Chains A and B, each alone.
Chain A
Amino acid sequence: MSFQILLNFFLAFLWMFLSSNYSLSRLIIGYLLGLLVIIALRKFFKTRLYVDRVWAVIKLTVLFIKELILANITVLKLVIKPKLDMQPAFFKYDTTLTEEWEITLLSSLITLTPGTVVVHVSDDSKSLFIHVIDSQDIDETIDSIKYSFEKAILEVSRS
């Protein structure tokens, strides 16, 4: 993955040096050409194309923005309800993520989508303890959200 990015930059600089016109536009054109070549020869690489991973990051961002808007509307409904009938609860959520950055990202995503707050990461980093604002029928939906987030993060990190 990092090798592909390096190769792409190398090709971009090569393109810039082939024409003795050292400008940013030339570099960008070379980069795009190198990208085309790398995509064409993707069979030679042992790992995924890094463009694939960039695409996964973009998908994760879009998913996060969508969830943020939806969850904020849910909390707004809870706030303007005349009756307070919500039942807060803590629950333990077992994660399959291992890397530090993955756990941090997942926790941040869970915390930034309102209704759920990560309060603690277990000592072996295998489970998160999450506080949920309304535990009545929301457990399944929250789990589905988690699986969508977790799946998206795994999509980014798998080699």
Chain B
Amino acid sequence: MKTNDVILQFTAKIVFFIIFFYAVHIFFAGHYTPGGGFVGGLVTSSAIVLLIIAFDLKTVKSILPINYLYLVAVGLLLALGTAAFSMFVGEPFFTHFFDYFNLPILGKTSLHTAALFDLGVYLVVVGVTMTIIQTIGDDE
């Protein structure tokens, strides 16, 4: 029995973007205000889960053809690479570097390698959450 989910599907399409933008905002806000990679990753996966609820697994897999296991691997590599990079410069493991740069459009911005580590955390969280949910959802 396939019901007509026109309201849910249309709303999910719109709300997905709002949730995703909020996730990116919370990811970048993590340095000075509450937020960061973990929360951002969870919010992002919740947006994808909303799509899965509104449509179905096959459709979402065709829309976002991402192998989430690779996403976990990339995230771990990024986190490890950020942490290990300082050893090649002669600093202890996990030393972070930051500086202020004058970017062409954004003006004076502080770039911090902790953001890269956070991106690794973000990717791992998204990958793990989506792997769990897809694996459970696939068991028909």
Binding site for B on A (CB under 8 A): 100-101, 103-104, 107-108, 118, 120-125
Contacts and interface: CB of A to CB of B under 8 A. Distances in A.
Contacts of B9: 100
B110 interface: no
A45 B134 CA distance: 49
Interface of B: 2-4, 6-7, 9-11
Contacts, number: 26
Contacts of B3: 120, 123
B14 to A, nearest CB: 9
Contacts of B2: 123
A118 B4 CA distance: 13
B5 to A, nearest CB: 8
Contacts of B11: 104
Nearest to A118: B7
A41 to B, nearest CB: 34
A121 B4 contact: yes
A58 B3 CA distance: 33
Going nearest first, the 10 A-B pairs with the smallest beta carbon separation are A104-B10, A100-B10, A123-B4, A121-B4, A104-B7, A121-B6, A107-B7, A103-B6, A100-B6, A125-B6
B51 to A, nearest CB: 15
Contacts of A124: 4
A125 B7 contact: no
A118 B6 CA distance: 12
A95 B65 CA distance: 37
Contacts of A118: 7
